[in-house]
Amino acid sequence: MRRRKLLQILVGLSWVAVAKVRSVASPLLRCKGTQLFLDGTKGQMIKGCATMQGDQKRIVLSAEVIEDKIRGGLVGQLLGNLNGLPHEFKYLDEPGDVRDYLPALPQGAWTDDDTDIEWVYVLQMQKQRTLFVPHGEIPRLWQLHINRRIWSSNLYARQLMDLGIEPPYTGLAVLNPWAEFNIAGQFCSESFGLISPALPQTAAKIGCHYTSVVVSGEPLQATQLFTAMIATAFITDDLQAILDAGEKACDPKSRVLQVVQQVRFWHQQYPNDWRSTRLKIKETYDVFGKSPRGRNGYEVNTACVIAALLYGEGDFVRSLTMAFNFGWDADCNAATVGTILGVCKGWNWIQKQGWNIQDIYRNTTREGMPQDETITRFGDRLIELAQMVIAQAGGHYDKRAAVYHIPNQQPRCVHPLSEDERHIHQLAETYSPERLLEDLCVTDEPTRARAAYLAIALGYSTDLRKRYRQTWGDGLAALEKFPKVVQAIYYYTPATELGEKLRRSALEAGLPRPSEKIPLWI
């Protein structure tokens, strides 16, 4: 028994070593299907393929191919998301048994948080002609458009915005206890990979700018992982190369990277037995039970996406079926799988399958947003932004040849874990006890309410209550005038260490607990 255990450990270490070697290896790819040669070969533009120009500093992609792949990725995301909804959180203890799945959107698509939060950002980016809507403007954007059909970290961040707390603080776990584990880093990021063809670093930067509104830490590593994979899928359909790119985009110390490497190892162990890998995922990462932390945490769901891609072997229908059957947050996972493979396959390929997909994107959730959107128009917006991304990354469009010359950008981690620690230190420096006391003394009630919440979350409330009882009482009274924030503290906080700490701090600070839970949707 001891010898067998030792052998398992050694095999595991060997796989990790192989993964690390792969992650730093020379970028020599000879991929099937869409091909990218990075071995110094001078390439001529071939329709449907990416080629290198002499000095390896440029990738050449035709405008036709980029547009086809963006539309394919969008439709793949919509199919995975909306066809996956019936399977969401249905398969926890055991895998699903979905068979004979046929992709379809016979009534068209409709808004769901897997795509419509990005939709809001995309329209604003297009309107302002900017890739990075300033963080200070994002709370107003949410207040105008994002008030219902949101959950977990998104829902909590929305309440913080009403207090005047701005990103990226709304995505710090010390203020938003969902932010340390929530899957929003994955399901709110795919569009930013779609607008960054062959530009994995840029995809990760844009993705992290927007997902940091609601998450931090490891979930931002998931953002980098998946946006880099989507960006890379524009130039290769080799899943191993796409996964390699995703690994390189993660902080070497991240748990997300460990999850990816571990699932790849299990796939090597059980190449024809997805159920064994599913059991390994459950035993290793499903350690939080059926709580929200367990169902939509980044570990188990990242593992499911990687496994579905590997066992789907590039087959679109099979891969989405796998994403459904692996379970947990199945619609989000299938959406990410569908985006990656939709980019690989392209919209022309999807059309040839004969699936019933109506060109509708029905707005059922986002007030103030277009009521006449179509999938085509959504894709047009992404294509317009992709043109901006390529130009700002140093690429250019050759109108005569109808091709884009794109810098050969290698994937790497652009948002290390230390960056989130810097934001926490910055928060503590900005809102010192002295600053919070000053804010508690002003006549503006929203400012007093924000100061009271920050003091509770940062652990200053006990001392402030003891030394400045009347002033603290005024702050609590102001905070109570934001009943949804109080509800969020007591009824919409996860049962995690940070969540319980926040609730205890609020009780000890003297903030009354509401007698009943009320909905937070407007």
Distances from the Cα of 336 to the Cα of 80, 82, 263, 309, 326, angstroms: 7, 12, 16, 10, 14
Enclosing domain of residue 197: 10-407
pLDDT tens for 439-493 read 999 999 999 999 999 999 999 999 999 999 999 999 999 999 999 999 999 999 9
Distances from the Cα of 301 to the Cα of 125, 172, 185, angstroms: 29, 21, 11
Rounded Cα distance, 49 and 33, in Å? 8
Final residue of a structural domain among 375, 407, 439? 407
Residue 10 in this model has a pLDDT that exceeds 90: no
| The predicted structure's pLDDT at residue 19 | 38
DSSP string computed for 402-455: TEEEEE-PPP--SS-HHHHHHHHHHHHHHT-HHHHHHHHTSS-HHHHHHHHHHH
pLDDT tens for 293-328 read 888 899 999 999 999 999 999 999 999 999 999 999
382 within domain boundaries: yes
Mean residue pLDDT of the chain comes to 91
The number of distinct structural domains making up the chain is 2
Q: What is the CATH number of the domain that holds 250?
A: 1.10.4080.10
5 within domain boundaries: no
Is the same domain home to 440 and 399? Answer: no
Which neighbouring-strand residues pair with 361? 109
Is the same domain home to 131 and 238? Answer: yes
Q: Per the structure block, which two tokens stand in for 46? A: 């071939």
522 — pLDDT class (breaks 50, 70, 90): low
Is the same domain home to 397 and 290? Answer: yes
Is the same domain home to 281 and 384? Answer: yes
Is the same domain home to 39 and 157? Answer: yes
190 — pLDDT class (breaks 50, 70, 90): very high
274 within domain boundaries: yes
Is the same domain home to 359 and 493? Answer: no
Final residue of a structural domain among 349, 375, 407? 407
Distance, CA of 219 to chain centre: 7
Is the same domain home to 27 and 65? Answer: yes
131 within domain boundaries: yes
Is the same domain home to 395 and 468? Answer: no
Residue 53 in this model has a pLDDT that exceeds 90: no
275 within domain boundaries: yes
Q: Quick one: DSSP state of residue 108?
A: -
Comparison of pLDDT for 342 and 42, the residue scoring more: 342
Strands (E) located in 322-388:
361-362
Rounded Cα distance, 109 and 74, in Å? 11
513 within domain boundaries: no
48 within domain boundaries: yes
Q: Residue for token digits 């992290």?
A: 208
Is the same domain home to 394 and 478? Answer: no
Is the same domain home to 338 and 448? Answer: no
Percentage with pLDDT > 90 across the chain: 87
* SS3 (DSSP) at 89: coil
Is the same domain home to 402 and 458? Answer: no
3 within domain boundaries: no
Note the pTM of the prediction, 2 decimals: 0.91
Is the same domain home to 126 and 170? Answer: yes
| The predicted structure's pLDDT at residue 59 | 97
